[in-house]
C-alpha cells in the first residue's frame, strides 16, 4: 500500500503541538498532504501532514456530530478555527471564527451559485472587523470579497485567488513517488504561498468538501 505521509510515527493522535508551518525558504510555498480521513476509528474528518510527515492539522467526527459546526484542530487537539453554518441565510454560507469563539467571525465563505461563471466555486468575504486577525490586510468595506476559489473540487484542482487575481493557495492531486500512480481524491496536496495563513487555507478545503464533496449532492 502506498504511504500517504513520509513518517509513520507522525500518525499518532497524541502528537506534539503543531510545528510552525514555515517553508525552509521565505519565498517558497508550504506544501501539505491532506487525507480525507480521521485518525480516530469510525470517525469522519481530515488528517493533514507537512512535507516532513509531521501531523499538523486534524478534523475529527464532524459529520457524525453537529453538521452546522466544524472544528479545525492542531496536532494536539487544540481548536484553531471553528466553522459554523450561517443560519437563516440563502444558499451555502459559513462563518469562520478564531478558536472556539462564537463572536466576531474572522471571515465568511459563500458558495457561488451563478451559472455564468462556472469556474468560480466560492467567495471568501470580509467580516468587516478588519485588523490583523482578518485573512488579508484591512478591508475598508464590510463584506467585501477577499478571495475567490476557482476550479473543480471533485477533480482536486482548485486555486484560491486574492483580489488582485494572485494565487495564494492551490489544491492539487497527489501522486505516489514510484511510477507516478495517482492516490485518488482521498489524498491530495494543499500548496500555500508564504504570505497566506495555512490554517485559513485548510478551512477553505473543509468548506469546499462541505459544498462539493462527500456530503454534497452537487459536486464540481
Q: Is 204 helix (H, G, I), strand (E, B) or coil?
A: helix
Q: Is 150 helix (H, G, I), strand (E, B) or coil?
A: strand
Distance CA(215)–CA(180), nearest Å, equals 29
CATH architecture of 30-127+143-212: Beta Barrel (2.40)
Total-model pTM: 0.80
pLDDT tens digits for 145-167?
999 999 999 999 999 999 999 99
DSSP state of 182: B
Residue spans per domain, the chain = 30-127+143-212
Distance CA(105)–CA(172), nearest Å, equals 28
**φ/ψ (deg, to 5) at 63:** -80, -40
Highest mean pLDDT of the ranges 55-64, 118-127, 202-211: 202-211
Residue 200 above 60 pLDDT? yes
Amino acid at each position: 500500500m502506498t504511504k500517504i505521509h513520509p513518517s509513520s510515527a507522525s500518525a499518532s493522535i497524541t502528537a506534539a503541538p503543531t510545528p510552525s508551518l514555515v517553508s525552509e525558504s521565505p519565498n517558497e510555498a508550504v506544501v501539505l498532504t491532506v487525507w480525507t480521513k480521521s485518525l480516530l476509528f469510525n470517525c469522519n474528518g481530515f488528517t493533514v501532514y507537512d512535507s516532513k510527515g509531521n501531523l499538523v492539522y486534524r478534523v475529527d467526527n464532524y459529520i457524525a456530530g453537529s453538521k452546522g459546526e466544524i472544528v479545525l484542530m492542531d496536532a494536539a487537539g487544540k481548536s484553531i478555527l471553528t466553522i459554523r453554518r450561517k443560519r437563516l441565510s440563502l444558499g451555502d454560507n459559513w462563518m469562520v471564527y478564531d478558536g472556539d469563539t462564537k463572536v466576531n467571525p474572522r471571515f465568511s465563505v459563500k458558495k457561488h451559485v451563478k451559472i455564468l461563471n462556472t469556474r468560480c466555486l466560492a467567495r471568501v468575504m470580509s467580516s468587516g472587523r478588519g485588523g490583523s486577525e482578518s485573512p488579508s490586510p484591512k478591508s475598508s468595506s464590510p463584506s467585501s470579497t477577499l478571495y475567490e476559489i476557482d476550479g473543480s473540487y471533485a477533480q482536486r484542482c482548485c486555486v484560491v485567488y486574492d483580489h488582485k487575481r494572485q494565487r495564494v493557495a492551490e489544491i492539487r492531486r497527489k501522486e505516489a513517488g514510484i511510477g507516478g500512480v495517482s492516490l485518488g481524491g482521498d489524498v491530495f496536496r494543499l500548496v500555500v504561498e508564504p504570505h497566506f495563513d495555512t490554517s485559513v487555507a485548510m478551512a477553505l478545503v473543509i468548506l469546499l468538501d462541505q459544498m462539493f464533496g462527500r456530503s454534497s449532492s452537487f459536486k464540481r
